[in-house]
A and B are shown apart, each in its own frame.
Chain A
């Protein structure tokens, strides 16, 4: 069930928000004990909001495509009157005094919030295994991670626990779980959507954005998250594939891929070329330095935010996240500055790679969802660290700030989803979405 399909029926009164909300709450009740996607379920508030939405719609006060739609929020995002745990016992007693800006905008659009979703503690990880509220499981294969850090959000959408959700993305935390769970994840450009009222990991790399069942649903949520004067309403038309110019950042971003991922992504690129897209190789010369840049920036920023609580209540962090934060404290200022300069270099190189093309096309996630507990995965004949593999293809666009979107492009062994990533020009997220709509259609046609 997609927002795009159901919204017109809600508007016509053929479907009730209360019914939709009850269905989502039933899914949560049935699946959450196994998958652990939600930390907090706001059933009573959701049903009251849904009934109010039904009354408004029946009274001719329809607000648009999100009116009466059940959504969830990653539990880093403030929802007034509800705790924001950030997946950590450090914040278990927190109660949000106000909505985050993004929550308030979605509320104004008529959204119904069914609850707050699980995440890798403080968004400081890619698997949603380290949470003070227990690990989450992939809905396709419960022995696997759903990806992270917005793992609970991705599960919620993939299983119909909510029809859309809000995630955050510092190194890939929207796109990675979207790819691992077979849904769409949109990271807008840096700063495009307010992060006010969202627990930070690294303020200069954090992005707020939607996870959704399809590209059109991602657009509907993204549009409602924008400031009112920048919202445009209608889902844009797909860009024509014939003549679309796509750049493939060959090299580093393609050289550590699981064989099934490599095959699916290359087959998709071939299908796009066959449909009329003009595909060329492009370069990001310092791609090999991205992991080192990212590590120093995230560590420096996280060390600052967690400095006091790491000293006063270290026992309330999960062991792995605590260890990462303890290590983060040792980053020197001079190396942080070198990383800041490297970030600017990467941003410039992504701009250059995008010159003359509409979007970059590459994998979203180098591997299918990893087994829970795996520290390494075999790729290209050798073991590679899972965390590095999962961040590899997404972190460039956190460093550069360009908008990027992950969408499903096939399955690997065991039916595990594979994600394709498109990255667009800064300030042109709507144009990227028009490309993604066309690519999504082409993938469906090829499949």
Chain B
């Protein structure tokens, strides 16, 4: 689910529950989610195999 799709779904659900005051805050959460998804620590299935996992001590 893209952030845009998620936001559309979340807003529709909030409105269905009579919580129109969540519209602005959900926009803010969507911005934070975009930022999180753009972070360089995220892996993609078609990119290099993850190598950073430490061995158990």
Contact = CB atoms under 8 A, between A and B. Distances in A.
Partners in one complex: yes
A13 to B, nearest CB: 51
A384 to B, nearest CB: 13
A200 interface: no
Contact of B22 (A292, A326, A331): A326
A252 to B, nearest CB: 13
Interface string B12-29: 011000010110011001
A330 B35 contact: no
A238 interface: no
A342 B39 contact: yes
A323 B14 CA distance: 11
A292 B30 CA distance: 10
B56 interface: no
A187 B37 CA distance: 30
Residue of A324, A331, A335, A345 with most partner-chain B CB within 10 A? A335
B44 to A, nearest CB: 12
B35 A296 contact: no
Residue of A291, A330, A332 with most partner-chain B CB within 10 A? A330
A289 B39 contact: yes
Given A296-B32, A327-B29, A338 B22 contact: no
Contact of A338 (B14, B21, B25, B36): B36
B22 to A, nearest CB: 6
A380 interface: no
A406 B6 CA distance: 39
Contacts of B37: 335, 338
B22 A332 contact: no
A338 B43 CA distance: 9
B21 A332 contact: no
B42 interface: yes
Given A341-B42, A342-B41, A330 B36 contact: no
A323 B22 contact: yes
A84 B29 CA distance: 31
B10 A341 contact: no
Contacts of A293: 36
A289 B36 contact: yes
A34 interface: no
A332 to B, nearest CB: 6
Nearest to A327: B25
Contacts of A289: 35-36, 39
A286 B33 CA distance: 15
Contacts of B29: 295, 299, 327, 330-331
A339 B6 contact: no
A292 B36 contact: yes
A377 B36 CA distance: 25
B45 interface: no
Contact of A326 (B14, B39, B41, B42): B14
B30 to A, nearest CB: 9
Contact of B36 (A296, A324, A327): A296
Interface string A335-378: 10011011001000000000000000000000000000000000
B25 A323 contact: yes
A221 to B, nearest CB: 32
A327 B22 contact: yes
Contacts of B22: 323, 326-327
Contacts of B6: 330, 332
Nearest to A341: B41
A-B complex: 10 closest residue pairs judged by Cβ atoms: A292-B32, A330-B10, A292-B35, A292-B36, A345-B41, A327-B25, A295-B32, A338-B36, A289-B39, A341-B41
Interface of A: 286, 289, 291-293, 295-296, 299, 323-324, 326-327, 330-332, 335, 338-339, 341-342, 345
30 contacts: A286-B41, A289-B39, A292-B35, A292-B36, A292-B39, A293-B36, A295-B29, A295-B32, A296-B32, A296-B36, A299-B29, A323-B22, A326-B14, A326-B19, A326-B22, A330-B10, A330-B13, A330-B14, A330-B26, A330-B29, A332-B6, A335-B37, A338-B36, A338-B37, A338-B42, A339-B36, A341-B41, A342-B36, A342-B39, A345-B41
